Copies of this chain bind each other. A is one copy, B any other.
């Protein structure tokens, strides 16, 4: 938007005035044509004389006109339909936060009538994912929001949508080789670097003499392909931080069989006792609170835990002091941004494609936890 500064000094203060938005009627008047002609030009649906076109484009470029998407939607007198396919998840879990963001955005834009169809699938069941993805084109949506767990299935859905010329937006993960209208995700390797720094910081407290310190990365093994790629990127980021900081050879790794509590507990405790120099643990998967709980129940209080994702469990772990810090990838913001991108794409008819919306990554500790939930309250 253009802002015209009309500054004059008075007393000791300056005044600015915002420019008024021009309307289509106004543009038409200035160009000496009718509103209908301007509209035809804006939507390039033909049958306009070169003379009229030149006149209108001149006014358009000089005035910095932007159409009012809300009245535009009213004029269209039809809603849009958006299909969403993401993994199912319980309240307080990661994918549920993305869903919250989507719902929030639909709410925020409730004046644009949007019919949103959701097809959930089981993150660990490739067949349910195929079924969900196959049902998407059948819905004949105007746009699709895709949260991928299985790369091949996602790619095939993207290609199918490309063929049908239906725009789609990716959340949480980018899919190489696809041509989304937009993708909304956090840079996992950057998250890893941030995690590395926090792992290092929380692990150095309180200072202790002698011996060099060690830091642990805990990976919970059960997960789908996309999640594994993400955790690999996080791991690489952590290594990158330590390597850049010149702290070599201090990272230890441990895997936790996520679906076997007894075995998990055994291997974590064994690891801790075998590695007394470990000063802090980063839990790469979303279940930091489970590892933290195991440590707490076994009286291990001097090994702070760093977790990923502000899930219900991690949040409670942070409040209880069992978790020291959480890296937040803003899943709600991802969902919200995806819906906004879809609306933009549908209402502005000639939008750019393949826009990457990189999420902010935040460190949540006990002190700022109470303030971190209302980022996009209305």
Contacts and interface: CB of A to CB of B under 8 A. Distances in A.
Indicate the member of A68, A79, A134 with the most B CB atoms within 10 Å: A68
Given A71-B71, A114-B18, A190 B12 contact: no
A206 to B, nearest CB: 6
Interface of A: 1, 3, 10-18, 20-21, 66, 68-71, 74, 79, 85, 88, 103, 106-107, 110-111, 113-122, 125, 127-128, 131-132, 134-135, 186-187, 190, 193-194, 196-197, 200-202, 204-210, 213, 241, 333, 340, 344, 357-363, 365-368, 370-378
Contacts of A210: 209
22 contacts: A1-B106, A1-B107, A10-B135, A11-B131, A12-B122, A12-B128, A13-B88, A14-B118, A15-B119, A16-B116, A18-B106, A21-B111, A68-B111, A197-B366, A204-B206, A204-B207, A207-B209, A340-B378, A357-B377, A362-B363, A362-B372, A376-B376
Contacts of A370: 190
Contacts of A186: 371
Nearest to A209: B209
A357 B378 CA distance: 10
Contact of A378 (B71, B344, B372): B344
B17 A116 contact: yes
A20 B115 contact: yes
Given A21-B110, A362-B362, A128 B11 contact: yes
